[in-house]
């Protein structure tokens, strides 16, 4: 899925294959909150907003890992350029699990798009957030986002 963000057709194909795999997994095992959350992520990235919302709501009922659920929702909002919603979800994820590195990286990406005057109220506990390696990751995510926009025109 990550590599598919280079182009819309690749994303659609990756989402279709991922949904087929999840459908197979759900047939052989009990569907839990984590599977529902991943299905919400995949459907959200493939443009099925209503289905994604329903899956995330069901995942919230059945999941014990709410921090991951908010993280996945933030990714969907970020991909769909709903920056404020992404910020809210990523903040909730970090409140529940402040040391989640990937959430910190997404938080930094969201803050690069839209400055947040309340940023000082939320402490990021991961010490290396401002390190050079994270700057490179953030720059690459921004480049992928720009490539996605160019391919969709």
Task: Tell me what pLDDT residue 73 has.
Answer: 93
107-137 residue pLDDT tens: 887 777 666 555 545 444 444 444 555 565 6
Burial, 118: exposed, middle or buried (Cβ in 10 Å; 0-12, 13-18, 19+)?
exposed
Other C-beta atoms closer than 10 Å to the C-beta of 1 total 16
Domain boundaries defined on the chain: 3-152
- Asked if 90 and 74 touch (Cβ cutoff 8 Å), the reply is yes
Architecture of domain 3-152: Alpha Horseshoe (1.25)
């Amino acid at each position: 899925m990550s590599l598919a963000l280079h182009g819309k057709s690749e994303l659609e194909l990756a989402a279709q294959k991922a949904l087929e795999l999840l459908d197979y997994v759900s047939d052989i095992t009990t569907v839990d909150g984590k599977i529902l959350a991943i299905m919400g992520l995949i459907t959200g990235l493939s443009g099925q907003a209503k289905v994604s919302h329903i899956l995330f709501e069901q995942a919230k009922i059945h999941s014990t890992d709410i921090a991951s659920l908010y993280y996945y929702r933030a990714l969907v909002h970020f991909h769909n350029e709903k920056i404020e919603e992404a910020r809210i979800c990523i903040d909730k994820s970090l409140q529940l699990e402040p040391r989640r590195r990937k959430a910190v990286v997404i938080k930094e990406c969201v803050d690069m798009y839209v400055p947040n005057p309340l940023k000082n109220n939320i402490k990021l506990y991961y010490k290396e957030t401002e390190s050079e390696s994270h700057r490179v990751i953030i720059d690459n995510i921004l480049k992928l986002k720009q490539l996605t926009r160019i391919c969709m025109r």
